[in-house]
Each structure stands twice: as C-alpha cells, then as structure tokens.
Structure 1
C-alpha cells in the first residue's frame, strides 16, 4: 500500500496490507484537505466537508476489540494497533471528530489536542497513552463526547478534574480504568456538568464516597460506578435520579439487604448489581420494574427462590440470577417472558431432571432464547430431544451437573450454536460425527465426561470457526486422522489431555500457529519432539506436554510472549527429554521440567537474560541428572515462591543470593550432594513454610535463626546430613511446626523439653503421637 503524496502518515504494512505500525508525522500540520488524499485506505478513514473539502473527521480507531486477542487466535487486536508518536494535528483546524482508540501510541496524551477547538467527539480509549491527563483538554468547549477509558493498563491518572468544568456541552464522559484515587473532586465536578447524560467511572479506584451536597444530575441517564471499592450501602442520592435508565454499580463491596429505594426507579431499563454482597431475598417489588430489559443479580449472597412474579418482567431481554444462594425457580413463569434471549441460572439449585427443565422453559421462550446458562444446577437425567425446541440457541452451558447418556441428536438441529459447554457431567458413548456439521461452532467444552471411541477428520470437517476445543479428561477418546491432515480451524485453546493422540507426535499441530493454551498431557505420545514445534506459537500462556514418553532436546530458548496480564506456564514433566536446560524467558511464571533426563548445569536456565525483570513463581527441576553447583543468580528471580530441585546430582554449598528470595514458601533440595553450612542469608526467606534439605552432606550446627526468623515454617526436614552439636532451643518458637525430622545426623545433647509444646503437630495429626512426628534418629 502506498502512502498518500501529502505524507500525512508514514507507515509500515504487512504483506496483507494490514496496518501494524504508524507514525502520525509533523507534516500533518500542513493543512492538507481531502482532495489531496489519493490513497483509498485513508479516504475510508477520513470524512470531509462536501463544500470546502476540509477534513472534519479522522477515524483511526482499531476495528478489533481487546478481548479478541484471547477469544481468537492470531492476536487480531494487537496486530491492528497503530504505534509510534502522535506529533501534531494542528493543521486540521476544522476537525470535529477524532478517534485514535485501540492503538499503542505511548507517551502522554498530547496537550495540543486542546487547541482543536471545533472538536465535538474525542475518543482516546485504550490508545496506549500514559501519565496524567492534560488540563488543556478543558479548552475543548464544544466537546460533547469524551472517551478516555483505559482497560488495558493502569498508566493513566488524574489528581484533579477541574479542567472538566469548562466542558458544559459534554453529554458523554468515560474515564473508566483511569486512576482517580487522588481526584477527590470527581463527584463535585461531574455533578456540575449540566448536559451530561452518560457517566462511566468504572475501575477508577474510587472510595470512600465524598461528602454529599446537592445532586444536580438532572440529565443523567446512564451511570456506571462498577469495579470500584465502595463498601457502604448504595448511596441514597442515586435513588433520587428517577430518570435514570441505566445503573451499574457491580463489582463493589455493597452489602446488606437489597436496596429498597430502587423500587422508585421505574424508568430503569438496565440494572446490574452483580458481584456485591447483598444477602437478602429478592423483593417482590423488583419484578414490578417492567421496563427492565437487562437485569443482573449474579454473584451475590441472595437467598430464597425466584418467584412466579418474575413473569411481570415483560420487557426483559437478559436475566441473570447466577451464583447466589438461591434454590428453585418458577421455570414456567420464565417461559412466558417472550422477549427473553439470555437466561442465566447457574448455581441455582434446581434439583431436577434436565428434560423437565427444558420442557418447563419451552413456552414462547423457546422461539427466542439464544443464551442458556444452567451450570452447577444439580441437574440429572438424560439430555433429551426437548433441546431441539430451542432452535435459535447460540450458547448452551450445562457444565458441572450429573447429566448422563449420549450426546443427543437434537443438538445437530441447532444450526446457530456457537458455544457449547457440557463438561463435568456423565455423558457417555461416542462423539457423534454430525458434530462436524455445526458450521457456526466456535467454542466446545466436553471435558471430564465418560466419552469414548475414535474421533476422525469427519468430526471436524466443517468447523472452520472453532477456536476453543476443551475435551480433556475423557479417558476413552482417540484421535485417528491421516498423517497429512490439516484441520479446517485455527485453535486458540487446545485441551486434549488424556486422549490417545500417539504414538507419533501429532503432526496436525503444525498448522496451529497461534494457540494460547495447549494441553496434550497423558496422550500416549512415544516420539521425538520435532524442531518445528518450538516455533509454532510464542504467544501462549499455558503449555502442558507432561506424562508422555516424548524424547529429544528442548529449544535453547523457550520463546513466549503471552497476552498482557498473563505469565506463561510450561509443564514438560514426566517425559524422556534430555540435554541441557533451555534459557528461561522473563515472562514465564511456572516451569516444570521434573522427571526427565536433563543434565549439566542449572546456569543456562537461570543465568541468561539477567538484565530483564523476571516473573517466575514456581520452579520444578526434580528427578533429573543436573550437576554442578546451584548458580548464584537468585537476585534476578525475586518472585519465586516454590522451588523443587530434589533428586539430582547438585553439589557445593548453597549460594548466598538464595537469601534474596523473600517470597519463597517451599524449598525442596532433598537427595543431592550439597554440602557446607547453611548460609546466614537464608534467614531472609521469612515466608518459608516448608524446608526439605534431607539426604545431602550439609554440616555444621543447626542454625538458631531457623527458630528466630522462619516463624511461619510448618515442615523442617534435615534428615541424613552431617549436622552436629546441640538442637537449638530457638526451634521451640515455631508454633506452626507440624513435622520436624532431624534423623541420621551427628547431633548430641538433650532434646529440648519445650518440644512438648508443639501443639500444631498433634492438632494436624491427631492420630499420631508427638514422638512419631518429632523424628530425631531412625
């Protein structure tokens, strides 16, 4: 793609002309109009005045949603983000509409945007900016729409919002995700905006609520205060906003009885009180708010039943009661809600046969329902052909019940199905071949059932949209496809644990280049791991190949670049892998290479890329042939909380840098050739709960600091070493100690009498005597 002659934008593009890097350059100040923009791509992103030709709208927003990167393989959002630096837009003096959302520009929001005085619409949401919000935005006195929300990071903040007071024409304000904990004037300022109809302050770190004065939100129709830390009862001033049509205070810590004053808000069409701590029954008057189209009461502590009065919610389209302490629901009344498209009753104790539930819901609702969630509802029986009545069903979630029998043929008639979750039930029989005809299917969860038999290419023949396949935990399924099979899908989640995929390494995986999650553990693979496997995907956050008989070497560097907010987990344990350890990337959170045949030093794993900040929390290298000293690189791994290096050939003394692991909770070094005295720096590991140094050659006296500094410790095993001298009395201070094993050392002197006070031992193991738990000599 050729950049326009005016050089408004300097860009790099992929071979598919997919824009992935852009720098808005200083030449934008030239004031060029649309007649000089010849490139078609840019013409579609620009809107011009029909008479003057001046640019009045610039639309550079990302067309993908951030959630697309976890929902779909290939990171469509990330790959479509513009990046670089916004230098100047001052030449576009007639600009009314500016959308830079969903990009990755970096740096602060440019203050010069405040000079675009004709702007009415400004959208900088999720655009990668950071730092404080410039007060110059307060000069945009014609602004009606201002969206600065940032759900991808917490890098934007404001210490006050006084600059907003000039924006008297503002109708929509979205500051969600921006830290406002120091902006104590947020309520005073927003309350004074006379034209405001939409106010979104989700996830702004707001609490406590400022002192109430006068409420002026006379025009407000939508209020979103979700994902904050408000903990008192819902503010009484909210209930005075009787013209409010949308109220969203979910994900706070509101508690107590259901707010009775809500009964006066008869104009509400959207109400979400989910993820709070309301603990009363559902009041009858709630069902009288018959303008409600969306009602979400999920994830509270609501009790009682869903009464027959629910039939009065005649306008409701989405109804969510999931994850409360509710028991029973008037299903036939729900079936009369002819506008309902989403019904979520997960966690409601229905205690019925699934066929009875479907029959009860099959009134006019069966023609409309698109999303049905009945997870963990104590359902039993067979999934029968009543399911076929719900012919517009898109999402069906029946997980965590006791539904049994085969997968019914009626499922094949639901041509609109996109997501199906029947996992953690008792379905048996084979996987039907007609599954491959569900062309719209994107998500399939069938794990932890009793399905068996061969699965062939036919089962996936037309599943071109499939992006998640979770079928782990069915111990009788075997994949039987031709060696050259190329699946019609690109999966982001591949979970086939306990399938029979072997004996050869699954060659079809070579086509799955963008997976985020891969689990082919316990899969009967007896083969050498191919070199191409390590180059398939670098964006995964979970990879599990454990408990096979996979041979070969691991790539020198385990490349991984998981989605933002994730640290990768890699489990290659219980295989026949060999050779040197790989270099561990900084963004790995868990690595398990135990029970293989790795040899040589630990240094290649731990002492590479030391300049990068590390995320590792769990390190498992047990049962290998590692040798040499434990490397002195631990200052680079401050997040480690669990380490297991037992049953290797490690030698030498413990490095002093291990004392920098202040979050370490468990340390297992049993059965090596380690020697020397315990380094005093180890006392800095004050979070330790379990310390196992048994079957080594440690020497010297047992340090008194174990009892003085490791006060949380529950398990201490120093068995079969060369410790000598007295048992320190300081160990008596370990009030949480449940196991103490000092057998097979060269200890002398008396056992401290205070050991009789180890009450945690007898409480944890009441069937054993204290002498069985205190092991001094075998």
Structure 2
C-alpha cells in the first residue's frame, strides 16, 4: 500500500509544482509595455483585442504566446480572422525574444515607428503607467535578433515606403510582404539583401516600379523567391546578374511580373531549382534548350508568354518533372517524342499554340501518372484506336477547339475520375444518347458548347455532384423540366451554372427550382420557351435567401409572356438580368431599386408599359441599360447614372427627357414639398384675380353711375362721344374717296 501511495504521490506533487510554477511565471513587464504600445496604433473595430488590458497577464492575451519558463513573448499571431486596421507599430519588433510575427490578412494601412512610449489614450494604457512600470532603464531601440518569421501579407491597402528597418532582423528566414505597396522604396532589394539567413522571400503583387541591380546581394541561403503578379512594374528586362548570387534557390516564382526579352542564361546558375514559374510575362524567343539541364526541376510553368518555335527535345531529359505548362504561347511544329520519357508527369498543358501533327495512343503510352491534359486550341489530328484504353485516369481534360469529332472518342468513356471536361467546339455531332448523358452528368464541370449535338433532353437528369453544365450553341430540344426540377428532389445540389442558350428548347419554365441555393448563372436565352416567368415561384411566399448569390439570369429571345414577377427583383446580388425579346407586359416593379449590384439590365423588345420607376436611379453600378422598344411613357427618371446612357437605350417608347432629344414640358408632381408650394401659388392667383374683378366692377359702376346721376357730365360725355364719331366718319369717307379715284 505504501509503495502504491508513493507511486501516485510523485505525479500529484509534480502536477502541483507545475501548476504553482506556471502561476508564478507571468508576462515580462517590458514585453507587456511594448504590446500595449503596439495596440495604441491599432483600430480594433470588432474588439478582437478586448483581452489586451493591463490587468490581464499578457501571456493570456489573444494571439500572444510566451515561453513557459521565462515568460517572454515569443510569438504574436493575429492573422486572417482578425479585422484589424490602422498602423503596424514597429515597436513590436523590440520584443527581445520574439521569433514569430504574423499580421497577415488584416486591413493595416501603414507601417510606423513612433517613440516607443505609452501615451494617454482611451484604453487601458494609462492604467499601466499608474502601476509605475514606466520605461525600463535598459530600454533599447534595436530590434529582436531572434525573429525568424515575418508575415505582413494580404493587407491589401498596406503601404510601406521604407524598408530600412528590415536590415536589423539578421536572423530572419521567412519574409512575406505580398499585396503590400513597397514600390516607392527604390532600395527595397538592397535592404532585403542584408538578411543573410533569408531562405523564403514572398513579394507577390507589391507594385514594383523597377528591378534594382543586385550585384552586391548575398542571398546565400535563399531557397524560395516569389515576385509574381507585379503587373505595375514597368516593362523590365531580366538582367543576367540577377541569378549570379542566388544559386541556392529551389523555388522561383516570377509569375506576371512584366519581364520581357529572352530568358537570361544565368538562370542556369540555379542548379538546385525545383519550381520555376515564369508565367504571364513578356518573355519571347525560343524556349532555350538549356532548360533541360535542370536535373531536380519538378515544376516548369512558362505559359502566357511569346515563346515561338518548336518545343526543345531537351525537356524530355528532366525526369523529375511532374508539372509542365507551355500553354498560351506561339509554339509550332510537332510534339517531340522525347516528352514521352517524362514518366512522372502529372499535369501537361500545351494548349493555345500552333502545334500540329498526328497524336496516337503511342504518344501517351508512358503517361501512367497523368491526371490533367490540356490540348485545347491546337491543330493536332487524332488517330487513336477505338479500342484503346489509356494507362491514366484523368481528372481534367481540355480538348476545346480541336478536331476530335464527329463521334465522341471511345477512350473518353474510360475516364471515370474526371471532374472537369471541356470538349467545346470540337466538331461533335453524333452521340449515343444513353451512354453520353449518363457519363457527362456525373462530372463536376462540363463544357460541350458550340458543337452540333442534337438530342431531346426532356428526360436528362443532372447529378447532384454537377456544378456547371455549359451546352449552349447546339441543337438540343425538348423540355428543361427534368434538368431543373429533379434537382429540387435531390436536396442540396451543387449546381452553380446552367447554360443551355442557343438551342431549340421548348415548353414552359418549370416552377420548381426553389432549392437551387448555389445557382449563380442561369442562361436559357435564344430558345423557344413559352409561358410566364415562374422559375422563381411567382406569387409564392418563399425565403429568397435560396437565391441570395445569384449573379446572372438570361431568358432573352424566347416566347415568354405575362408580367415580370416582383420576386425576381429580390435577387439583390444579381449582376446581370436579360429578359429582352419576349412578350412581357406590365410595369417595372419599384423593387428594382434594391438590386444595388446590378451591372447590366436588358428589357428591350417587350410590351412593358407605364413609367420607368424612379428607383432605377439607385442602381449606381449599372454599366449597360436597354429599355428600348416597349410601351413606356413619361419622363426618364433624373439621375446621373441614367442620363449617361446612350439615347438608343430608350428609343421605341413614348418617353421624354435626357438623354432623348424630346423635352418634357409638363413637370410631374413629386413627393417633396413642391405640391404644397403649388397650392400656395394657386391661392395667391385666385385672390389676385378676385381683387382685379372687384376693382374693375367698382371702377366701371363708379364711372357709369356718375354719368347717370350728374346731368352736366352726361351731356358733356355724349357731346364728346358724338364729336369722336363724326371725326371717324370724315376720316373713313376721305379714305374711301381717295381709293375710288386711284382705281
């Protein structure tokens, strides 16, 4: 029993000791002071730093991590989930034992270095002073030499005009300033080059204006370099010297940096390179054969440039390559047989080039690991045995704008792992309907548009796993009831895009798609659909959060009739609405003003009537508007956005006002104070006219009464009147005599 007691007493005593010890060790006072100084510059709109008070141990603050033994702050992580604004106060870098600092994914605007002292402010910093902690005597302005990781990325409006402070972080290994504007510092590379331990440098989308000379740099430890998407850079030629001193790099990303000219051969100095991304620049010339000397290269991406000529045979020597993207260039010639030596190849994309030649099953016989194949927009001919079974199972296949038709290749049906299939504009006209549709509807993303496929799809049911079906510009017929309505019965379907435009579909729109919570694009234009717009359950009380993310609806060029359901205008996230060239009647509902995200609206060539609602002026993002050829009347609503459109947006109606040349002469009553003013004016005019009438009557009877009552005045008036009559008689007689003599 004693032995058992001794066995359990030791762990209990250890636990008690550890608990007591942890209570004794608390946050270092100087660390707490610096963190509170950092907080002074932060605008914490969502109160994420509510735990940062002087009364609370700073090791228990949100995002702060301390060493369990010393109590010194070692990590500060306030990334992604924190909506912090304001400035990044670099006093935080004076935390002596800080080795990890992550402030990414916030909304900081600037980096500042004010005096590292607590000022009087509305928060708890002044309480910290009251505890007589003050500024320690050993206060130093130098930054932590322990810092290994620094991440300020994804603060989209962050501007850093000076990076000189980086040179003090001598132990820094990881630096990410992506999405920050550091282009105004012409010495940015000089400051970064002072970091001897740096192994990863991420400067994606940093707005560089130039690429400084780096002959002085000493990147002996650099392994990862990312300069991608610096599209604000001037057109730069990549200097040969750039790679003379970075021979330890294994990850190089210069994607969309606006570099031009041929690839510098000094790039070959990076013999340890495993990842080379030069996509979407202005590189031109031949693809250099020396790229084949990279023995460890696993990823090569040079898409979106201006490389021309043939694909070098030497690329087949890179046996470690598993990703090769040469698409969107100007390459020509045949596909070299040496590429068949790349047994590890996982993704191959050579689309959008001028490549020619015949592809057979032998071309792909060694690609057993292939999961993605891009041959789109090339001029290859396919000579493949109908019984061929590929050695791979693809997840993505891009054969758009090729000549694989008129039949669907038999080997395609063997690819049961496909999640993306693009066979658009490929000359397909013949399908085995049962096999084809059962295969297609099980794929996540499908594009079969711009072919000659003719089939009745009335009984085609989409899979609940399908997110996009683009089948426009074919000859499909029948009803869309099954395509839409069966999804309602399947619960949460993933469908986000349905494009069946430019076909021969007929029948009424089904009233059943209320469960399409993910549907973003519904494109059914240029068919023969009839009836009312009931696809959004007209007149039914529904929770329209089901359609909250809808982006685009196109039901144009059909035979739809009836009124536009008001429920349609509850789709406040809609970007584009096209109901043109139908037989719709009625007025535009006032609710249209709530569609604040609408960018394109086309209601032309219908029979809509009434006045254009004034709420349409609320559509501040509207970029395209066409209300022409309807029966609208009245004045075009006044609004800067509306008057900026071309007159053709309103022709074919009985409208007036800008931008039409026809002016409106009758001002319409409004809902403001003008009607009250009009009433006041009317009362004034009535009083004026009444006074004039009374005055005229009084004057008239005053004169006439005097003549009637005073005899002398009466004789004098009639005497003068008789003289006037006699004089007029003489004048008229003389005029007539003169005219008679002349005649």
Q: TM-score, normalised by structure 2?
A: 0.69
The 2-side partners of 1:543 and 1:291 are apart by 48
What is residue 205 of structure 1 aligned with on the other side?
A: 82
- Provide the residue aligned with 2:525 in structure 1: 622
1:664 is aligned to: 574
CA 1:470/1:226 → structure 2, altered by over 3 Å: closer, same or farther? Answer: farther
1:53-89 per-position Cα deviation (integer Å, ceiling 9, x unaligned): xxxxxxxxxxxxxxxxxxxxxxxxxxxxxxxxxxxxx
Distance 1:371 1:645 in 2: 46
Establish whether residue 343 from structure 1 lines up as the match of residue 242 from structure 2. no
1:109-188 mapped onto 2 (5 Å cutoff): 181-185=46-50, 188=58
Determine whether 1:290 maps to 2:204.
no
CA distance in 2, matches of 1:310, 1:532: 65
- Which residue matches 1:37? none
Identify the match of residue 673 of structure 1 among 583, 596, 616.
583
Q: CA deviation at 1:570?
A: 2.4
| Equivalent position to 1:229, from 98, 107, 117 | 107
Using the TM superposition, give the Cα deviation of residue 414 of structure 1 relative to its aligned residue in structure 2, in angstroms. 1.0
2:512 alignment counterpart: 607
The alpha-carbon distance between structure 1 residues 444 and 712, as it changes in their structure 2 partners (threshold 3 A), is closer
2:610 aligned to which of 667, 681, 701:
701
| Other-structure match for 2:645 | 737
Q: Does 1:260 align with 2:164?
A: yes
Partner of 2:66: 193
Deviates more, 1:498-507 or 1:227-236: 227-236
Partner of 1:459: helix, strand, or coil? helix
Q: How does 1:749-764 map to 2 (within 5 A)?
A: 751-752=656-657, 755=660
Q: Output the CA distance in 1 between the equivalents of 2:362 and 2:45.
A: 55
The equivalent of 2:472 in structure 1 is 573
Q: Does 1:323 align with 2:196?
A: no
2:437 and 2:51 map into 1 onto residues whose CA distance is 50
Counterpart selection for 2:560 from 644, 650, 665: 650
CA distance in 2, matches of 1:640, 1:390: 48
Aligned to 1:314, which of 220, 241, 263? 220
Aligned length: 575
- Find 1:640's aligned residue among 518, 537, 550: 550
Partner of 2:208: 302
Tell me, in whole angstroms, the C-alpha distance in 2 between the residues paired with 1:729 and 1:286: 59
1:265 Cα shift? 0.8
* 1:374 maps to which of 256, 267, 278: 278
Once the two structures are TM-superposed, the CA of residue 540 in structure 1 deviates from its matched residue by 5.5
Residue 360 of structure 1 and its aligned partner are, at CA, apart by: 2.3
Cα separation, partners in 2 of 1:181 and 1:680, compared to 1, 3 Å: closer
C-alpha distance in 2, partners of 1:214/1:346?
33
**Residue 234 of structure 1: how far off its partner (Å):** 6.3
| 4+ runs deviating over 6 angstroms | 140-144, 209-216, 234-239
In structure 1, distance between residues paired with 2:280 and 2:646: 37
8 A contact 2:110–2:160 mirrored in 1:
no
Give the distance between the partners of 1:481 and 1:453, measured in 2 at CA. 13
Partner residue of 1:583 out of 478, 481, 484:
484
CA distance in 2, matches of 1:518, 1:711: 38
- Secondary structure of the residue aligned to 2:411 is helix
For 2:371 and 2:399, the matched residues in 1 are separated by 14
Contact 1:343–1:373 (CA<8 Å) still a contact in 2?
yes
Alpha-carbon distance change, 557 to 330 in structure 1, aligned in 2, over 3 angstroms? same
Quick check: which has more Rg, 1 or 2?
2
Among candidates 123, 137, 149, match of residue 246 of structure 1: 149
Equivalents in 2 of 1:214, 1:417: separation in Å?
43
Match of 2:325 in 1: 421
Name the SS of the counterpart of 1:312 in structure 2: coil
SS of the residue corresponding to residue 619 of structure 1 reads strand
Q: 1:508 to 1:754 in 2, by over 3 A?
A: closer
**2:728 maps to which residue?**
none
Q: Matched residues in 1 for 2:516 and 2:26: separation?
A: 42
Q: 1:211/1:688 Cα in 2 relative to 1: closer, same or farther (>3 Å)? A: closer
Structure 1 residues 676-691: aligned runs within 5 Å: 676-682=586-592, 684-685=594-595, 687-691=597-601
Separation of aligned partners in 2, 1:309 and 1:697: 72
Q: CA deviation at 1:741?
A: 4.6
Q: 1:467 Cα deviation (Å)?
A: 1.9
Closer/same/farther in 2, CA of residues 580 and 613 from structure 1, 3 Å limit = closer
Structure 1 residue ranges without an equivalent (≥5): 1-51, 53-92, 97-116, 119-139, 145-161, 167-178, 563-567, 759-778
Judging changes above 3 Å, is the alpha-carbon distance between structure 1 residues 492 and 684 closer, same or farther for their aligned structure 2 residues? same
User: 1:329–1:677: structure 2 CA closer, same or farther, 3 Å change rule?
Assistant: closer
Tell me if the contact between 2:254 and 2:279 (Cα under 8 Å) persists in the aligned partners. yes
- Contact 2:66/2:75 (<8 A) preserved: no
Q: What are the ranges of 5 or more consecutive residues in structure 2 without an aligned counterpart?
A: 28-43, 53-57, 117-140, 488-492, 539-543, 664-743
CA contact (8 A) 1:529 1:552 kept: no
CA deviation after TM superposition for structure 1 residue 411, in Å = 0.7
How far apart are the structure 2 equivalents of 1:439 and 1:507?
Answer: 24
Structure 2 CA distance for partners of 1:375 and 1:704, relative to 1, 3 Å: closer
**Structure 1 residues 403 and 710: CA distance shift in structure 2, 3 A:** closer
Distance 1:485 1:267 in 2: 58
Deviation string 1:217-265 (CA, Å, 9 cap, x unpaired) is: 5444233332222222167889722211222222224313242111011
Give the secondary structure class of the aligned counterpart of 2:455.
strand
2:404 corresponds to 1:501: yes
| 1:478-627 paired onto structure 2 within 5 Å | 478-528=381-431, 530-536=433-439, 542-554=445-457, 556-561=460-465, 568-581=467-480, 582-583=483-484, 585=487, 586-603=493-510, 607-608=512-513, 610=514, 612=515, 614-627=517-530
Quote how far apart the aligned CAs of 1:446 are.
1.5
From the superposition, tell whether residues 714 and 334 of structure 1 become closer, same or farther in structure 2 (CA, over 3 Å).
Answer: closer
User: Matched residue of 2:380: which SS?
Assistant: strand
Q: TM-score, normalised by structure 1?
A: 0.66
Q: Are positions 1:452 and 2:356 aligned together?
A: yes
2:340 counterpart of 1:436: yes
Is this contact kept in 2: 1:192–1:216, CA < 8 A?
no
Q: Contact between 2:569 and 2:594, CA under 8 Å: does it hold in 1?
A: yes
Partners of 2:47 and 2:450 in 1: CA distance: 52
For 1:472, which of 376, 390, 415 is the aligned residue?
376
> Are the equivalent residues in 1 in contact too, given 2:590–2:613 (CA < 8 A)?
no
Give secondary structure in 1 for the equivalent of 2:222.
coil
Work out the CA distance in 1 between the residues paired with 2:644 and 2:255: 39
SS at match of 1:504: coil
**Cα deviations by residue, 1:597-639 (Å, 9 ceiling, x for unpaired):** 2121211xx623x2x3613232211111212221152645343
RMSD: 3.9
Alignment deviations for residues 497-551 of structure 1 (CA, whole Å, 9 cap, x no partner): 1111211123323232333322111111112364344555778553211101122
Do the aligned partners of residues 729 and 192 (structure 1) sit closer, same or farther apart at CA in structure 2, a change above 3 Å counting? closer
